[in-house]
Structure 1
């Protein structure tokens, strides 16, 4: 069986959706008696210095020729096509979502990243997308041929149904690194207009990616008068996160764009109603019956969804039942690994 290497910027143990996905795929492949390992590339990717690019290519060149080599899109999309071709081997690109679609980029940087990623993807022998939506974007906007594409959606394993909060207080959980794309600010603004309801907001996710944005979020939470109801937990481990899901009554993340939305399916698997953004794959990931799918820029729609699901226990229970039922239809990680097996065979 072919060995598999997935190259990622920095530390694979980072607790973001893309890194968790990569780590779980490697674990699934290792369980099949494959040698499946991560290769660390310079952590500044996808915003590297010239030295970072040269070092990334050097590390990729050292991967044994017999291994199927996949490069995570955070790195792949900014590597020069000539450097990738010079590796002299078939390459797999793993795209969670295109770099240019990150929120908050200047038009010039977004255009530069899109051109770079398009050129790099042209070199890849296979391209693994983590959702049908992302695959469609890669075909239609980036010109990736359909015969190169493999769709490997994240899996989700059965989980205990959440027990929820106590004393009639609706516990709202958000799991996401604080970045512009995740749209915490719009959620804070909406909650600031719902102080007549009984709720508590708990936010799990890294606070170090964008310290200035975190400071702005803290100031906003204080300004709208919800600081005493809000807990910024930072990045937490698997056991602590499982406990947060268990004590929650509602999951809210009106993200501006998701390549898939792993946190959404983790919440659905616990029977939590979900309020998601409509951008990217979110609308295909979250059934409307399981909560609400809203425009990330529509503050009134976010507020209305929150008011309905916080203030009406019957509506919240119906959405919870729909989430719980839908979770039974979701693919498991074994299916994700099956796609990588096929892609690895093609690289071999």
Structure 2
């Protein structure tokens, strides 16, 4: 049995497909390769074809959400019986005390076009009269050109003192960042799930995010049906700004979202559940390798 990361396997069918006749393989797909934002159409089409060849050749594909399963089945014409879910876990952490209960915003995402931080900047510029501060945590080395454009946009709106690109943080430093958060914000163009969302909810932090991909699943619901976040249409900084203004202006909204976030926190599945889901897929692999399609 061989478990392969799709970020590697899906780009090299010439390596993987012949081995499907020898090995019992499963491929874990984080994000379809051709879905990466900003790719040249020809590059995206080539990655798409490579990924399709790999996923059709292996006996099991593992995705990170029900939405991602539907996307892979429809896009690549896969047998639904061979595509499985193993949603990322979120181990419950101490409740975040926050700052003042309203004004500290945190975004945790690599600074890339797919994560759409420029939309967050535009929305925050539209509510510059409100007393917010925002820290964006995430790697700055993936797309230096985009980072440069983002810094220019922040400067153009005069937000340098209020919106900080902090770079990557992990461990206790990331924990400390979450501890100060009153609201998690995420403006992605595409997400197969949204681990940063569940990491925030695991600390009782409400979420404001774009309604794309698997993010609605990550936000989820508390056991009593309460929704611990607000989802806005993609490509709509105006809607994002309106929800931010509502967050600041409506104490009842904040109370409802915080209560739902705490309820969702208690119901989150940890990484042990993810491991069990993945183990079940591997356990059910056929005894013999399948013939490549």
TM-score, normalised via structure 1 length: 0.77
Comparing 292-301 with 81-90, which one deviates more in the overlay?
81-90
Count residues in correspondence.
280
Aligned counterparts of 1:287 and 1:343: Cα–Cα separation in 2 = 24
For residue 237 of structure 2, the aligned residue among 296, 299, 319 is 299
Deviation for aligned residue 1:139: 1.1
Partner of 1:265: 198
Q: Residue 37 of structure 2: SS of its match in structure 1?
A: coil
For residue 146 of structure 2, the aligned residue among 213, 226, 238 is 213
After superposition, what is the alpha-carbon deviation per residue over 1:202-228, rounded to whole angstroms, capped at 9, x for unaligned? Answer: 011000001111111111001011111
- Structure 2 matches for 1:207-246, cutoff 5 A? 207-246=140-179
After superposition, what is the alpha-carbon deviation per residue over 1:98-130, rounded to whole angstroms, capped at 9, x for unaligned? Answer: 111111112222221111111111111211111
Does residue 1:100 correspond to 2:38, yes or no? no
For residue 286 of structure 1, the aligned residue among 192, 197, 219 is 219
Partner of 1:314: 252
Tell me: CA distance 1:96–1:230, structure 2 relative to 1, closer, same or farther (3 Å). same
- Structure 2 matches for 1:1-348, cutoff 5 A? 68-81=1-14, 83-86=16-19, 88-166=22-100, 170-287=103-220, 289-347=227-285
TM-score, normalised via structure 2 length: 0.90
Aligned counterparts of 1:343 and 1:287: Cα–Cα separation in 2 = 24
Q: Residue 203 of structure 1: SS of its match in structure 2?
A: strand
Q: Which has the higher contact order (CA 8 A, sep 6+)?
A: 2
Aligned counterparts of 1:278 and 1:180: Cα–Cα separation in 2 = 16
Superposition RMSD in Å: 1.7
Aligned counterparts of 2:24 and 2:92: Cα–Cα separation in 1 = 36
Q: Residue 158 of structure 1: SS of its match in structure 2?
A: coil
Q: Residue 227 of structure 1: SS of its match in structure 2?
A: coil
Partner of 2:291: none
After superposition, what is the alpha-carbon deviation per residue over 1:28-78, rounded to whole angstroms, capped at 9, x for unaligned? Answer: xxxxxxxxxxxxxxxxxxxxxxxxxxxxxxxxxxxxxxxx31111111111
Q: What are structure 1's unaligned runs of at least 5 residues?
A: 1-67
Q: What are structure 2's unaligned runs of at least 5 residues?
A: 222-226, 288-293
Deviation for aligned residue 1:155: 1.1
Deviation for aligned residue 1:310: 2.9
